[in-house]
Amino acid sequence: MLEQPDGLEPSISKKEYKKALYELRVELVKLQRDIIANDRKILVLFEGRDAAGKDGTIKRIIRDLSPRETRVVALGKPSERESSSWYFQRFAAHLPAAQEMVLFNRSWYNRAGVERVMGFCTPEEYREFMQDVPRFEEMLVGSGIFLLKYYLDISKDEQRQRLEDRRDDPLKQWKISPIDAKATKLWDEYSQARNEMLAGTHTATAPWTIVRSDNKKLERINLMRDLLTRADYDGKNHEVLLVDPAIVFEYQDAYLKNGMIAP
């Protein structure tokens, strides 16, 4: 497991966790009310290794939000037609309209991660993606979309344990995929792909925010706090939005070497 940097809480009690979640759920409803009232467009990308906690975090964010103005996008394998189209085309169809918040459970960054490591795209397709994505995101932001990009970072030991637990849990069988079996075996390859993705696509317009996710409870509440801190809305209660900087922090190249991001 990674060593905990100074200031990182080792845990949180069940009572504290429930209280924090409730407070954040109230803030999320305030945010949605503001999004609807002001015709805003919010787009949140969730990336990370298998079992990093994307599903659970998204589930808690949307729990009390209106399904009419909140959408979760989790695209599967592209069809033959989609594979022959412009790469970003099938994602563009799901972007938020006015009054909407859209959360991508994996996004176009699949090309820089799973597709690259598993050989599902060609080297040329990967290079083209890395050149195009900063311009694509700049256009999204320029069009009025408020874009947030989160990378949920998990240690190798924690990922292995979660994948084992997933195989043993009858309620999580839907999460199991053939790619899971290669997640830990190809750990180094995924690390290299992640490092190049973060370094090449972290821009002033669309920066990456890293969230350490070995502790699910701390990951969830701190990511939600960060999201709410960054978004403007009326009636914000700043007292419940204090983010632990050892858990959530903006990407820097140095973090790939000092243990802040799992090697």
**Residue at 121 is within a domain:** no
Percent of the chain scored above 70 by pLDDT?
96
Is residue 27 classed as helix, strand or coil in its secondary structure?
helix
pLDDT level of residue 10 (50, 70, 90 thresholds): low
pLDDT the model gives residue 121: 97
Residue 143 in this model has a pLDDT that exceeds 90: yes
Q: What phi and psi, each to the nearest 5 degrees, are found at residue 100?
A: -115, 150
- Reading the block at residue 164, the tokens are 């084992």
Do residues 126 and 111 touch, judged by C-beta distance below 8 A? yes
Q: Which of 124-128, 168-172, 205-209 has the lowest mean pLDDT?
A: 168-172
Mean pLDDT, residues 139-153 taken together: 98
Q: What is the mean pLDDT of the chain?
A: 94
Distances (CA, A) of 52 to 9, 47, 102, 163, 227: 19, 9, 20, 10, 18
**Residue at 230 is within a domain:** yes
pLDDT digits (tens, 9 = 90+) for 23-65: 999 999 999 999 999 999 999 999 999 999 999 999 999 999 9
pLDDT digits (tens, 9 = 90+) for 211-260: 999 999 999 999 999 999 999 999 999 999 999 999 999 999 999 999 99
**Residue at 142 is within a domain:** yes
* Cα radius of gyration rounded to whole Å, the chain: 18
**Residue at 120 is within a domain:** no
Residue 5 in this model has a pLDDT that exceeds 70: no
**Residue at 60 is within a domain:** yes
Residue 180 in this model has a pLDDT that exceeds 80: no
pLDDT the model gives residue 48: 98
Number of domains the chain is built from: 1
Distances (CA, A) of 234 to 107, 147, 245: 29, 19, 25
**Residue at 126 is within a domain:** no
Domain limits at 245? 14-109+132-157+204-256
Residue 1 in this model has a pLDDT that exceeds 90: no
| Residues in Cβ contact with 15 at an 8 Å cutoff, skipping those fewer than 6 apart | none
CATH code of the domain covering residue 217? 3.40.50.300
Separation between Cα atoms, residue 7 and residue 85, nearest integer Å = 47
pLDDT digits (tens, 9 = 90+) for 93-121: 999 999 999 999 999 999 999 999 999 99
**Residue at 170 is within a domain:** no
**Residue at 51 is within a domain:** yes
pTM score, whole prediction: 0.94
Q: With b meaning 16 or more CB within 10 Å and e meaning fewer, what string describes 148-160?
A: bbbbbbbbbebbe
What angle (nearest 5°) sits at the alpha carbon of residue 112, between those of residues 106 and 114? Answer: 65
